[in-house]
């Protein structure tokens, strides 16, 4: 089950792997655009937090892991779930609140779970899942199964007590967990500079003697490379590590956000660094992908996303009897 | 059958669980080298080593969350939170994670873990160390709440907790730790959701759990002296709650006094009163009475503290008023 061979370095990735990275980012972007459309049509309700602009973080990081490494993430979780390879149709169905959704319609956008794919969930209490990642890492350490835990959270989480408790515990117990902070500079409408004494977040890990780096989260290869390298040390038993991915969300915090707190120009500047266009351009220049190949990629993704919507729309809602299912687990092994 | 202390019954049961299943690990503040703040885990570190008996930092939230994650990952953790007062720092983990994961994940995840904590007042520890908040935990679907009274309960319920696929909040009233009682050994278990009739009677039902069963049982003695035959119910778990046992008893006695150390306002005793009203309204000869802690933070001074807690006399008086 465990793949012991290390992942290739970014330099060693072949053309199809590089195109794979581009494809995943494009899929996330298109999926999110479609989700926004479905939200506007009131097919999706509740809170909907889109990942547009941050695709390189999820795709770079998760591609650099083994497929059975565990992932814990926050409520902005569609990108991570897609990057882990969960079927878009089952994610869309969850957004639609359908029985066929990954969490059987009980979780919604913020709580995607796919335990079979070691995707241990999206969590909506800021900072609340960091302790869980530590526990899963403890179990991995005890079972000696060679799996590590990727724990993803935002810049907003680093001022929660649980952030500090978790980093400390992971460090003293040398837990195999890789903390990945998506620093998009805002927690809802609050600019990090207004609420964080230290805004270079990776520096905080020094308080727990934890190796930490800042990475360009708009660059999928840099993300991939950083995680590939750092994961080796975590897997080898050197203890936890910390990465801060510098990124930006192109849209509001959630669909309800009119973005009064920041200027359009700021978003425009970041859009020039769009992780998908820049990577596409690079692959073109390097002769990895040509225009026809790119267009067929686009068409393929369009079809996947449309099919996902159709699947979700045609799926049944959870039956009323499901209301009381799974409050408690029935069996213990 | 041996006569042992409540604390010893817990320790023996834990030891057996550690021996039976090497996925069982214990995590908590001062459970190892110190031996446990109430000496419940004494000797376990020496026997099982630091990989099984893990002294943690003073970080309740990550300790509980780590237990949840470890349970998800295949271990069978038992967390000791020292006392219920400190569990408030882990309340988010218990309420938002432990209690929700099975449901939110559509049944993909289960959280087989035990969270032990000491509870109750009576040792002049003042307001911040004297809470009885078991009713708060009982309020939450997704977790189970065990409230043992006797050493026998301690063993039987803890053994059941070790076979549970769900998070169990295991409450230990500090006044009970040293109390001795007969405890069956071997495979003895007490299923969750089964109250115990500690004393049969026909005139009034006294309902208590955890430490308050002690005062209620003294009250039953006092009542017997005045010719009133009280039935005494020890709830043993608050969630699941043995509603049937409560209703059956009240149908017989037509009167009930609910006893609880916790505050009366918005508390669990009110829930029991409502359940009786829903299930045995026509059988009641008097309104359900509640004898609970005074509506104040628990004071330090001895006489004041005692005045803030339910006493046997108060319970007996409340029962006689229903006659
Ligand atoms: C404990 C807690 N407090 C407040 C909130 C409300 N809230 C939801 S998301 C959010 C901002 C979090 O920002 P960040 O961690 O930077 O993640 P981002 O949304 O930028 O990806 C807040 C305050 C919450 N969900 N949980
Ligand atoms: Mg942010």
Dump pLDDT digits (tens) for B24-57: 999 999 999 999 999 999 999 999 999 999 999 9
Asked if residue B205 has a cis previous peptide bond (ω within 30° of 0), the answer is no
Domains in chain A, ordered, with CATH? 10-315 (3.40.50.970)
Instruction: Judge contact between B137 and B94, C-beta under 8 A.
Output: yes
Q: Is B241 within the bounds of a domain?
A: yes
Instruction: Judge contact between A56 and A18, C-beta under 8 A.
Output: no
- Min CA distance, A168 vs chain B (Å)? 9
pTM (2 d.p.): 0.97
Shared domain check, B173 and B313? no
- Min CA distance, B137 vs chain A (Å)? 15
Shared domain check, B201 and B157? no
Q: Which DSSP letter does residue B50 get?
A: T
- Largest alpha-carbon pair distance within chain A? 56
Q: Is B189 within the bounds of a domain?
A: no
If contacts are CB pairs under 8 Å, which of residues 104-163 in chain A contact chain B? Answer: 104-107, 111, 113-115, 120-121, 123, 125, 128-140, 142-143, 161-162
All residues of chain A having their beta carbon less than 8 Å from the beta carbon of residue B55 are none
Shared domain check, B254 and B165? no
Going by CA atoms, what residue is nearest to atom 3 of ligand 1? A126
> Out of B8, B29, B80, B129, which one is annotated catalytic?
B129
Percent of chain B with pLDDT over 90: 99
Shared domain check, B66 and B168? yes
- Please say which residue of B183, B209, B229 terminates a domain: B183
Instruction: Output the pLDDT for position B30.
Output: 97
Shared domain check, B173 and B45? yes
Shared domain check, B158 and B45? yes
Q: Is B224 within the bounds of a domain?
A: yes
Q: Is B188 within the bounds of a domain?
A: no
Check A331 against B165: CB less than 8 A apart.
Answer: yes
Going by CA atoms, what residue is nearest to atom 11 of ligand 1? A187
Instruction: Judge contact between B310 and B291, C-beta under 8 A.
Output: yes
Count, in order, helices (H) and strands (E) of chain B. 12, 14
Q: What is the mean pLDDT of residues B246-263?
A: 98
Please name which of B64, B257, B16, B56 lies closest in space to residue A168, comparing C-alpha atoms: B56
Q: Residue B151: pLDDT band by 50, 70, 90 thresholds? A: very high
- Quote the tokens at residue A108: 């919604």
Domain count, chain B: 2
Ion ligand 2: residues, Cβ under 5 Å: A 154-155, 184, 186-187
User: CA–CA separation, B213 vs B169, rounded Å?
Assistant: 19
User: Average pLDDT of chain B?
Assistant: 97
User: Average pLDDT of chain A?
Assistant: 97
Q: Is B190 within the bounds of a domain?
A: no
Q: Beta-carbon neighbour count of residue A219 at 10 Å? A: 23
Range of the domain at B227: 196-321
Q: Is B191 within the bounds of a domain?
A: no
Please name which of A135, A157, A141 lies closest in space to residue A244, comparing C-alpha atoms: A157
All residues of chain A having their beta carbon less than 8 Å from the beta carbon of residue B107 are 104, 325-326, 329
- Please say which residue of B120, B151, B183 terminates a domain: B183
What tens digit of pLDDT does each residue of A170-226 get?
A: 999 999 999 999 999 999 999 999 999 999 999 999 999 999 999 999 999 999 999
If contacts are CB pairs under 8 Å, which of residues 101-160 in chain B contact chain A? Answer: 101-112, 141-142, 144
Q: Which of B62, B72, B163 sits opposite A166 (nearest CB)?
A: B62
- Going from the Cα of A157 to the center of ligand 2, the distance in angstroms, rounded, reads 8
CATH of the domain at B209: 3.40.50.920
Instruction: Output the pLDDT for position A5.
Output: 66
Percent of chain A with pLDDT over 90: 97
Residues with CB under 6 A from ligand 1: A 76, 124-126, 154-157, 182, 184, 186-188, 253
| Average confidence (pLDDT) per 10 residues, chain A, 333 residues | 72 97 98 98 97 98 98 98 98 98 98 98 98 98 98 98 98 98 98 96 98 98 98 98 98 94 96 98 98 98 98 98 97 81
User: What residue has token string 């660094």?
Assistant: A273
Instruction: Output the pLDDT for position A74.
Output: 98
All residues of chain A having their beta carbon less than 8 Å from the beta carbon of residue B25 are 142
Residue A175: closest C-alpha in chain B: B66
B231 counts as catalytic = no
- Going from the Cα of A76 to the center of ligand 2, the distance in angstroms, rounded, reads 10
Please name which of B228, B221, B219, B285 lies closest in space to residue B258, comparing C-alpha atoms: B219
A39-45, long-range: CB < 8 A, 24+ apart:
A39/A255, A43/A96, A43/A312, A43/A313, A44/A95, A44/A96, A44/A109, A45/A97
Check A165 against B70: CB less than 8 A apart.
Answer: no
Instruction: Output the pLDDT for position A331.
Output: 85
CATH of the domain at B110: 3.40.50.970
Percent of chain B with pLDDT over 70: 100
B139 counts as catalytic = no
Shared domain check, B210 and B157? no
Instruction: Output the pLDDT for position A6.
Output: 80
For residue B301, pLDDT over 50 is answered with yes
Pairs of CB atoms within 8 A across A/B:
153
- Quote the tokens at residue B115: 């969270």
Check B107 against A121: CB less than 8 A apart.
Answer: no
Shared domain check, B219 and B160? no
User: CA–CA separation, A59 vs A217, rounded Å?
Assistant: 10
Residue A105: closest C-alpha in chain B: B106
Shared domain check, B167 and B205? no
Interface predicted TM-score of the whole assembly (ipTM), two decimals: 0.96
Shared domain check, B154 and B221? no
Q: Which of A72, A103, A132 sits opposite B106 (nearest CB)?
A: A103
- Going from the Cα of A154 to the center of ligand 1, the distance in angstroms, rounded, reads 8
What tens digit of pLDDT does each residue of B185-202 get?
A: 889 999 999 999 999 999
Check A136 against B69: CB less than 8 A apart.
Answer: yes
- Quote the tokens at residue B268: 């669990």
Q: Is B175 within the bounds of a domain?
A: yes
- Going from the Cα of A235 to the center of ligand 2, the distance in angstroms, rounded, reads 28
Shared domain check, B157 and B214? no
- Going from the Cα of B242 to the center of ligand 1, the distance in angstroms, rounded, reads 40
User: CA–CA separation, A78 vs A306, rounded Å?
Assistant: 16
User: CA–CA separation, A64 vs A229, rounded Å?
Assistant: 9
User: CA–CA separation, A205 vs A271, rounded Å?
Assistant: 29
Instruction: Output the pLDDT for position A1.
Output: 43
Going by CA atoms, what residue is nearest to atom 25 of ligand 1? A125
User: CA–CA separation, B102 vs B118, rounded Å?
Assistant: 26
> Out of B60, B134, B172, B260, which one is annotated catalytic?
B60
- Min CA distance, B256 vs chain A (Å)? 31
- Sequence-distant (≥ 6) Cβ neighbours of residue B279 within 8 angstroms: B243, B246, B247, B250
- Please say which residue of B183, B208, B227 terminates a domain: B183
Check A131 against B66: CB less than 8 A apart.
Answer: yes
Interface test with B, best of A132, A169, A333 (most B CBs within 10 A): A132
- Quote the tokens at residue B204: 């009034």
């Amino acid at each position: 089950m465990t793949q012991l061979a290390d992942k290739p370095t970014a330099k060693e990735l072949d053309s199809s792997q590089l195109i794979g990275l581009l494809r995943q980012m494009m899929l996330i972007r298109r999926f999110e655009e479609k989700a926004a459309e479905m939200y506007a049509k009131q097919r999706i309700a509740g809170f909907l937090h889109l990942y547009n602009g941050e695709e390189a973080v999820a795709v770079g990081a998760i591609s650099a892991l083994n497929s059975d490494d565990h992932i814990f993430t926050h409520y902005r979780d569609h990108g991570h779930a897609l990057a882990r390879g969960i079927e878009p149709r089952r994610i869309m169905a969850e957004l639609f609140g359908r029985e066929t959704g990954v969490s059987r319609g009980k979780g919604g956008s913020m709580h995607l779970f796919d335990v079979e794919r070691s995707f241990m969930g999206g969590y909506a209490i800021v900072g609340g899942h960091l302790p869980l990642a530590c526990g899963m890492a403890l179990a991995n350490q005890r079972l000696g199964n060679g799996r590590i835990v990727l724990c993803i959270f935002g810049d907003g989480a680093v001022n929660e007590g649980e952030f500090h408790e978790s980093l400390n515990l992971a460090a003293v117990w040398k837990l195999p967990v890789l903390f990945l902070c998506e620093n998009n500079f805002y927690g809802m409408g609050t600019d990090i500079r207004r609420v964080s004494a230290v805004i270079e977040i990776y520096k905080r890990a020094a308080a727990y003697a934890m190796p930490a780096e800042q990475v360009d989260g708009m660059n999928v290869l840099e993300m991939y490379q950083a995680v590939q390298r750092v994961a080796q040390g975590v897997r080898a038993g050197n203890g936890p590590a910390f990465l801060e991915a510098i990124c930006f969300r192109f849209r509001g915090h959630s669909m309800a956000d009119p973005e009064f707190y920041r200027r359009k120009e700021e978003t425009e500047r970041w859009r020039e660094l769009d992780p998908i266009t820049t990577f596409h351009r690079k692959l073109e220049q390097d002769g990895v992908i040509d225009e026809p190949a790119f267009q067929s990629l686009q068409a393929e993704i369009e079809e996947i996303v449309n099919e996902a919507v159709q699947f979700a729309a045609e799926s049944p809602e959870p039956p009323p009897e499901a209301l009381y299912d799974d409050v408690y687990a029935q069996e213990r092994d | 059958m041996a006569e042992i202390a409540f604390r010893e019954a817990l320790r023996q049961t834990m030891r057996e669980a550690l021996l039976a299943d090497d996925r069982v690990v214990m995590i908590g503040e001062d459970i190892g080298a110190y031996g446990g703040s109430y000496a419940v885990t004494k000797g376990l570190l020496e026997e099982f080593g630091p990989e099984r008996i893990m002294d943690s930092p003073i970080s309740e939230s990550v300790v509980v969350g780590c237990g949840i994650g470890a349970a998800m990952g295949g271990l069978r953790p038992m967390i000791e939170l020292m006392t219920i007062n400190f569990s408030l720092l882990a309340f988010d983990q218990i309420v938002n994670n432990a209690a929700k994961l099975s449901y939110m994940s559509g049944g993909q995840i289960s959280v087989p873990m035990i969270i032990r904590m000491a509870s109750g007042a009576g040792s002049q520890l003042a307001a911040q160390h004297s809470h009885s908040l078991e009713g708060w935990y009982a309020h939450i679907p997704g977790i189970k709440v065990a409230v043992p009274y006797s050493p026998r309960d301690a063993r039987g319920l803890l053994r059941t907790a070790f076979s549970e696929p769900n998070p169990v909040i295991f409450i230990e009233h500090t006044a009970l730790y040293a109390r001795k009682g007969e405890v069956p050994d071997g495979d003895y278990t007490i299923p969750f959701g089964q109250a115990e009739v500690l004393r049969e009677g026909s005139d009034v039902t006294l309902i208590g759990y955890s430490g308050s069963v002690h005062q209620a049982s003294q009250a039953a003695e006092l009542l017997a002296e005045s010719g009133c035959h009280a039935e005494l119910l020890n709830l043993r778990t608050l969630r699941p709650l043995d509603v049937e046992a409560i209703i059956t008893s009240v149908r017989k006695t037509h009167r009930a006094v609910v006893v609880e150390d916790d505050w009366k306002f918005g508390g669990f005793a009110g829930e029991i009163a409502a359940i009786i009203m829903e299930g045995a309204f026509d059988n009641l000869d008097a309104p359900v009475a509640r004898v609970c802690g005074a509506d104040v933070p628990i004071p330090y001074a001895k006489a004041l503290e005692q005045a803030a807690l339910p006493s046997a006399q108060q319970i007996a008086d409340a029962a006689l008023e229903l006659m």
